[in-house]
Amino acid sequence: MKTNRLSAAITKALNAQMTNEAHNAQIYLSYASWASAEGYDGIANFLFRHENEERNHMMKILEYILKRGAKVEVTAIPHPGPDPTGVYDCFEKVFKSEVENTANIYRLVEMSMAEKDWATWNFMQWFVKEQTEEETLAIDLLDRIKIAGGAKATDSALYAFNRDLETKPDDAVLAQDVTVDKP
Ligand code: OFO
């Protein structure tokens, strides 16, 4: 008897979403490295934690595909793109990549609804909530940099922002408290 509980289309879309999560992880990894090299250790720490979260999201999807008896396809991860030109640009790009990922998640929700694959629909609801939290966090941080002058923020304002990210807990669940089972 066939034990695969996912359609070919949903399997393909979930595998593509694994790559999207890995791509977002690479973006955070790349920006964190950039921030660290620029001397913004608080910002780097924040971005490294989020890199880990995105990788956990990828693993969560991988485990779901396997659990449903379907095939995981691990592919190449697209390049994260150029370094940010500054702190404001960095967080604008973070926000943009989160919005793009939300659109990908919504497409999967739509697909699972159209197929009446309620298990996948239910599974995807966790990601809908997670994207809302991540977008909120990115908007909040962007607002704070905007108040400090945006792309023209002074060194002392950026110093304070960097210190803030070093010591303040995130609004979203902290990546260091997260495991593959409980992302
Ligand atoms: Fe995977 O949570 Fe954002 O992108």
Helix and strand tally (H, E) in the chain?
5, 0
pLDDT tens digit sequence for 144-156 = 999 999 999 999 9
Q: Is residue 95 part of a domain?
A: yes
Q: Is residue 1 part of a domain?
A: no
3-state secondary structure at position 172: coil
Q: Is residue 181 part of a domain?
A: no
Buried b (16+ CB within 10 A) or exposed e, 73-111: eeeebeebeebbebbbbbbbbbbebbeebbebbeebbeb
CATH assignment of the domain containing 73 = 1.20.1260.10
pLDDT tens digit sequence for 148-182 = 999 999 999 999 999 988 876 554 554 445 666 76
Q: Is residue 37 part of a domain?
A: yes
Predicted TM-score (pTM) above 0.85:
yes
**Ligand 1 binding site (Cβ under 6 Å of any ligand atom):** 21, 24, 54, 57, 98, 101, 130-131, 134
Q: Is residue 3 part of a domain?
A: no
Q: Is residue 180 part of a domain?
A: no
Tokens of 71: 């095939």
pLDDT tens digit sequence for 86-145 = 999 999 999 999 999 999 999 999 999 999 999 999 999 999 999 999 999 999 999 999
Instruction: Give residue 108's domain range.
Output: 8-172
Q: Is residue 45 part of a domain?
A: yes
pLDDT tens digit sequence for 3-25 = 999 999 999 999 999 999 999 99
The predicted pLDDT at position 137 comes to 92
Q: Is residue 167 part of a domain?
A: yes
Mutate to test the pocket of ligand 1, among 26, 134, 137, 170 (most ligand atoms within 8 A of CB): 134
Number of domains in the chain: 1
Going from the Cα of 2 to the center of ligand 1, the distance in angstroms, rounded, reads: 32
The predicted pLDDT at position 2 comes to 86
Residue whose Cα lies nearest atom 1 of ligand 1: it is 54
